[in-house]
Amino acid sequence: MNQDLPYLPEADDARDEQAAIGAASFILSLRAKGIRDTALLRAMELVPREVFAPRRFTDLARTDVALPLPCGQTMTGPATVAAMLLALGVQPGQRVLEVGTGSGYVTALLARLGAEVTSVERFNTLAAAAAQHLKIVEAGKVRLEVGDGLATRVRDRFDRILLNGARPELPEALMPLLGPGGRLVGALTVEGMPRLVKIERDADGELMQSLGVPLRISPLVTGIAATL
């Protein structure tokens, strides 16, 4: 005879405790890699990466590994994400253009940091899934668009632009979108190795470029929006 199993609050308590331990270990691992910004660490603690990871990899969500996504794309490892967001230096209320929504995880982090985010993804499948993920975590001010973010038709000015991938050259089409005092962060492939790149527009409108540390990040491809 089938009987309903009794509700066991101890099981829920154990899962909650395990999740808390996993989150703490996750943050400690980022601190050990030099990420010390309090606001960024808090955002990465509060935004559950497991919501954005493919279901078969949820057990790896709180580890520093890249994860495969549909459409041949990749969910960048947390340490690389943290390094890029640290370089981006987002402040609450700033307008951010994100190129390459992917799973929506970085989008949610940007929103948690207080940004008003316009995120562009070329794959319909990823954009639709990201919208669901962002709804689950109740992300803040986010607008998703489907299209080629490297040739976006957006004509607004942004305080920050984030490229979620490596490029062999700088995206000239995005430079006019960078407002005074603005900053663009991405990865530039130099001698076969992606390296953090930061471009800043000074008060006179001049652009200044600086290269940073090597990054483990996939290429950011250009092209028309895909129906996949």
- pLDDT tens for residues 7-60? 555 545 545 556 566 678 889 999 998 899 999 999 999 999 999 999 999 999
| Average pLDDT for 69-96 | 96
Query: Do residues 54 and 69 make contact, with C-beta atoms less than 8 angstroms apart?
Result: yes
DSSP string, 116-180: EEEEEESBHHHHHHHHHHHHHTT-SSEEEEES-GGG------EEEEEEEEEESS--GGGGGGEEE
Structure token pair of residue 24: 């703490």
Res 222: pLDDT: 74
**Interval 107-147: pLDDT, tens:** 999 999 999 999 999 999 999 999 999 999 999 899 999 99
For the chain, give the mean pLDDT: 89
Tell me phi and psi for residue 115, to 5 degrees: -80, 155
Q: Is 0.85 topped by the overall pTM?
A: yes
Strands of the chain, DSSP E: 67-68, 74-75, 95-99, 116-121, 142-146, 158-167, 178-190, 193-201, 207-214
**Interval 133-190: pLDDT, tens:** 999 999 989 999 999 988 866 678 999 999 999 999 988 889 999 989 999 999 999 9
Q: Which residue has the tokens 């919501």?
A: 51
Neighbours of 77 (CB within 10 A): 17
Distance CA 62, CA 25 (A): 8
C-alpha count within 13 angstroms, C-beta hemisphere, residue 219: 11
Exposed, middle or buried, 22 (CB in 10 Å: 0-12/13-18/19+)? Answer: middle
Query: Do residues 183 and 89 make contact, with C-beta atoms less than 8 angstroms apart?
Result: yes
Res 18: pLDDT: 61
Q: Which residue has the tokens 């910004």?
A: 37
Neighbours of 42 (CB within 10 A): 13
Kind of pairing between the strands at 178-190 and 158-167: parallel
